[in-house]
């Protein structure tokens, strides 16, 4: 058996390294994943590397939210203007919004529970996986990286933290939608006016219904980059430990009561 590639002889394995990123199984808290799905549908699934389902729910959230005026209603509710909040809501879109929103939370929770079980089985089987991927477009390899740097770059621009740890698909998706949110919310224009001391003008140009998407976007990008950096580092250490034990440690090596016995 080749120790460095997955030859599909095992029922389960914990990780896969490709030119698009490192996908791995690890234990996750289903309540945290469900919370991210509640904060923004699709985020919970993207944290699980269920990209197609996550992208679909994310795009659905943006389209239906904007047409149902959910964010606008939330703003009026925060201001205590309940009557206006009811007035701006489009019930035709809202009736589609609620079932899928609840499905995203439930499905991410259910999937997390199932994937935790799969991880425990894969960990028990301990099948080796590939560590290096070289292609015409990219090179990816399992390595240790600094979680603090992942957070720092994500706080500058969401998506940069994912690029740092080579989560290419998530990085591209996050960056594209950040541009969309910035453009339609006019947040950069407002920041420019704010620097010039034109506070009223800065406030007036903002589009709150689009602006409310940005905090969740920043929060997800930061959490995702940090969490995956930590888990990638654990995966690297575990694989290196197994490799060194298999190839350099004598079979009779034991540790008893803090003493090495050969």
Q: Has residue 186 been placed in a domain?
A: yes
The DSSP call for residue 14 is S
Quick check: 106 and 31 in contact, CB under 8 A?
A: no
**Same structural domain, 14 and 136:** yes
Last residue of some domain: 101, 125, 142? 142
- Rg of the chain over Cα atoms, rounded to whole angstroms, equals 23
List CB contacts of 220: < 8 A, sequence separation 6 or more.
Answer: 36, 39, 40, 43, 46, 158, 174
pLDDT computed for residue 2 by the predictor: 43
Q: Report d(CA 172, CA 175) in Å as an integer.
A: 5
The burial of 166, by beta-carbon neighbours within 10 Å (0-12 exposed, 13-18 middle, 19 or more buried), is given as buried
Domain containing 37: what range? Answer: 1-142
**Same structural domain, 133 and 169:** no
**Same structural domain, 31 and 61:** yes
What sign does the dihedral 159-116-57-138 (CA atoms) show?
A: positive
**Same structural domain, 111 and 160:** no
Q: Report d(CA 106, CA 168) in Å as an integer.
A: 27
**Same structural domain, 6 and 47:** yes
Report pLDDT digits (tens) over 119-165: 999 888 888 888 889 988 899 988 999 999 999 999 999 999 999 99
The burial of 157, by beta-carbon neighbours within 10 Å (0-12 exposed, 13-18 middle, 19 or more buried), is given as middle
Q: How many domains does the chain have?
A: 2
**Same structural domain, 111 and 163:** no
Element (DSSP H or E) covering residue 24: strand 21-24
Residue-averaged pLDDT of the chain = 89
Place of tokens 């998407």: 213
pLDDT for residue 242 is more than 80 = yes
Mean pLDDT confidence for 29-54: 95
pLDDT computed for residue 261 by the predictor: 54
pLDDT computed for residue 250 by the predictor: 81
Q: Has residue 157 been placed in a domain?
A: yes
Q: Report d(CA 249, CA 255) in Å as an integer.
A: 12
Report pLDDT digits (tens) over 209-237: 899 999 999 999 999 999 999 999 999 99
pLDDT computed for residue 217 by the predictor: 95
**Same structural domain, 133 and 222:** no
**Same structural domain, 31 and 161:** no
Length of the chain: 262
pLDDT computed for residue 60 by the predictor: 95
pLDDT for residue 45 is more than 60 = yes
pLDDT for residue 260 is more than 70 = no
Mean pLDDT confidence for 162-175: 94
Report pLDDT digits (tens) over 104-130: 999 999 999 999 999 999 888 888 888
Which tokens hold the place of 36?
A: 């991210």
What is the reported pTM? 0.88
**Same structural domain, 72 and 177:** no
CA 169, chain centre distance (Å): 10
């Amino acid at each position: 058996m080749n120790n460095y590639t997955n030859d599909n002889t095992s029922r389960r394995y914990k990780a896969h390294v490709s030119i698009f990123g490192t996908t791995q199984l690890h234990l996750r808290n289903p309540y945290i994943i469900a919370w991210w799905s509640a904060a923004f549908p699709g985020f919970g699934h993207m944290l699980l590397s269920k990209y197609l389902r996550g992208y679909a729910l994310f795009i659905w959230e943006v389209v239906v939210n904007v047409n149902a005026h959910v964010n606008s209603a939330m703003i009026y509710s925060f201001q205590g203007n309940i009557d206006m909040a009811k007035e701006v809501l489009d019930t035709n879109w809202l009736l589609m919004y609620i079932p899928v929103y609840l499905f995203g939370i439930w499905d991410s929770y259910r999937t997390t529970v199932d994937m935790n079980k799969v991880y425990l089985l894969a960990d028990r089987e301990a099948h080796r996986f590939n560590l290096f991927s070289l292609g015409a477009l990219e090179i990816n390899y399992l390595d240790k990286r600094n979680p603090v740097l992942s957070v720092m770059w994500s706080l500058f621009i969401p998506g940069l933290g994912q690029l740092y740890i080579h989560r290419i698909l998530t990085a591209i998706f996050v960056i594209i939608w950040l541009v969309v949110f910035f453009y339609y919310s006019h947040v950069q224009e407002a920041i420019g006016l704010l620097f010039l001391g034109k506070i009223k003008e800065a406030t007036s140009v903002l589009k709150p219904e689009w602006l409310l998407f940005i905090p969740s976007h920043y929060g997800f990008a930061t959490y995702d980059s940090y969490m995956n950096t930590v888990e990638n580092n654990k995966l690297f250490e575990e694989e290196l430990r197994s490799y060194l034990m298999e190839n350099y440690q004598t079979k009779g090596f034991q540790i008893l009561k803090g003493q090495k016995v050969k």
